[in-house]
């Protein structure tokens, strides 16, 4: 399959060249300034909570196939998909880029950190986690009670074994022991 230049795809969608922010040759981000220009008429179809088939065809495959089918019928259609989790890359389930004729390319790049945004978000979140831990450890600028901290770590993959962990083991130099997790769920009591 030959991928079209992303600027050509953007032009077909009615985006001005300055609204297409290339991320390599075949991916791009769309400038937020584009929201204020052009027509806002359209319809949205939300594909959610589908049970995948045994080969892994689920929401992504359905969304891509739907957009492809609408375009085949002469409609202007675009699929907006979230960045896939890393679970598919390690064989946990089907890929995060669709399947069969309804596939996205470049699949490896999309599955492995797409545009880097998710990694940047988790890094910023975990920087705040470190700041909270330092506030607990040093007690300034505010004193926090380590056993009452609810701020969690963040990861860009679904790791079953890091859902509930204990941090701060190893004595006073390593912080206050407490339960935490890599998800937004509170630890079990």
pLDDT, tens digit (0-9, with 9 covering 90-100), for 76-134: 888 877 666 555 555 555 556 666 666 777 776 766 666 667 777 888 888 988 888 88
The whole-chain average pLDDT of the chain stands at: 76
Compute CA distances 77 → 9, 59, 80, 85, 130, whole Å.
12, 17, 10, 24, 43
End-to-end alpha carbon distance in the chain:
52
Distances (CA, A) of 163 to 40, 50, 120, 158: 41, 24, 21, 8
Give the model's confidence band at 74: pLDDT under 50 very low, under 70 low, under 90 confident, else very high: very high
Pick 94 or 143 by higher pLDDT. 143
Q: Hey, what domains does the chain have and what are their CATH numbers?
A: 6-111 (no CATH), 117-180 (3.30.1510.10)
**pLDDT exceeds cutoff 80 at 145:** no
pLDDT recorded at residue 187: 44
Cα–Cα distances in angstroms (integers) from residue 38 to residues 16, 35, 42, 49, in the given order: 10, 8, 12, 32
Say whether pTM exceeds 0.75: no
Identify the sign of the CA torsion 36, 37, 43, 48: negative
pLDDT tens profile 150-176: 787 877 666 677 777 888 888 777 777
As beta bridge partners, residue 180 has 165
């Amino acid at each position: 399959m030959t991928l079209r230049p992303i600027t050509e795809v953007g032009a077909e969608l009615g985006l001005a060249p300055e609204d297409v922010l290339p991320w390599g040759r075949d991916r791009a981000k769309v400038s937020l300034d584009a929201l204020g220009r052009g027509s806002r008429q359209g319809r949205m179809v939300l594909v959610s909570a589908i049970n995948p088939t045994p080969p892994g065809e689920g929401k992504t495959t359905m969304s891509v196939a739907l957009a492809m089918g609408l375009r085949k019928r002469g409609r202007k259609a675009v699929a907006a998909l979230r960045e896939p989790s890393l679970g598919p890359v390690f064989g946990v389930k089907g890929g995060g880029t669709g399947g069969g004729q309804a596939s996205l390319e470049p699949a490896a790049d999309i599955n492995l950190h797409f545009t880097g945004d998710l990694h940047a978000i988790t890094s910023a979140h975990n920087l705040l986690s470190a700041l909270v831990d330092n506030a607990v450890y040093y007690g300034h600028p505010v004193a926090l009670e380590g056993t009452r901290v609810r701020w969690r770590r963040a990861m860009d993959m679904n790791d079953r074994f890091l859902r509930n962990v204990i941090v701060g083991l190893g004595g006073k130099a390593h912080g206050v022991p407490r339960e935490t997790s890599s998800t937004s769920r509170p630890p079990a009591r």
